[in-house]
Amino acid sequence: MAEHNVAVAKIDVTENKESGTEYEIQGFPTLKFYSKGAIIDYKGARTADAIADWIKNVITATVESISEEQAAEKAKGKQVVIMRTKNPDSIETLRLASLDDETTEYFSVESDTESVTLYVEGEEPVKYDGELTPIDLNSWVTESTLPTLIPLTSQSAIDFVFSQNQNDIVIIVEYNKIPDAQIEILTNFCE
């Protein structure tokens, strides 16, 4: 990794427990990539080749620069984040945010003003108004794309809802036993 200027650090959290807590290490081995405030967890195979390929991908990944006309086309039928900016540092933030998100496409459009917009099929575009950091941007995309009502059909769905570490209200009801009018009221309340 020397040609890419990547430093590799190894921490034994059985002897450095405070480091394990600080870096949120919950299992062994844990691999994380840090860059400009972004933390990207490795979820792939535990082989040297797979890890090296992942690091190369993280380092060389880019965000496609497109025109405003292409942006309108890209936003149709997909989940897309489009950043309008003339600042290369902002595009780097967008690139880092995109690395931990496999469900959303990220694009940049050259513009004199800066904005980030999320487009999801069938919904109104959502403008981002938070701090422009990879972690905040990635969290915003994740939160903005969660459906208001989620039918819980298995234990994994319940685990997903309760693993989000958010202060949301979770209401669990038997969907097929609620009249449509009450479902509509519940949906409006949740939004």
| Tens of pLDDT, residues 118-163 | 988 778 888 999 888 888 888 888 888 766 555 556 565 566 556 5
| CA within 13 Å, CB half, 162 | 8
Instruction: Report d(CA 119, CA 102) in Å as an integer.
Output: 15
Q: Where are the alpha helices (DSSP H) in 26-87?
A: 48-60, 68-74
Pick the range with the lowest mean pLDDT from 16-25, 46-55, 66-75, 165-174.
165-174
Q: What is the mean pLDDT of residues 6-32?
A: 81
pTM of structure: 0.60
Q: Given a cut of 80, is residue 168 above it in pLDDT?
A: no
Please report, for the chain, the start and end positions of each structural domain, with discontinuous segments joined by +.
Answer: 2-60, 64-145, 155-190
Judging by DSSP bridges, how do beta strands 79-85 and 105-110 pair with one another? parallel
Those residues with Cβ within 8 angstroms of residue 176's Cβ, 6 or more apart along the chain or in another chain: none
Note the pLDDT of residue 178.
Answer: 63
Structure tokens at 81: 């984040």
Q: Is pLDDT above 70 for 181?
A: no
Residue 17 above 80 pLDDT? yes
Architecture of the 64-145 domain:
3-Layer(aba) Sandwich (3.40)
Q: What is the DSSP letter of 100?
A: T
* Mean pLDDT for the chain overall: 77
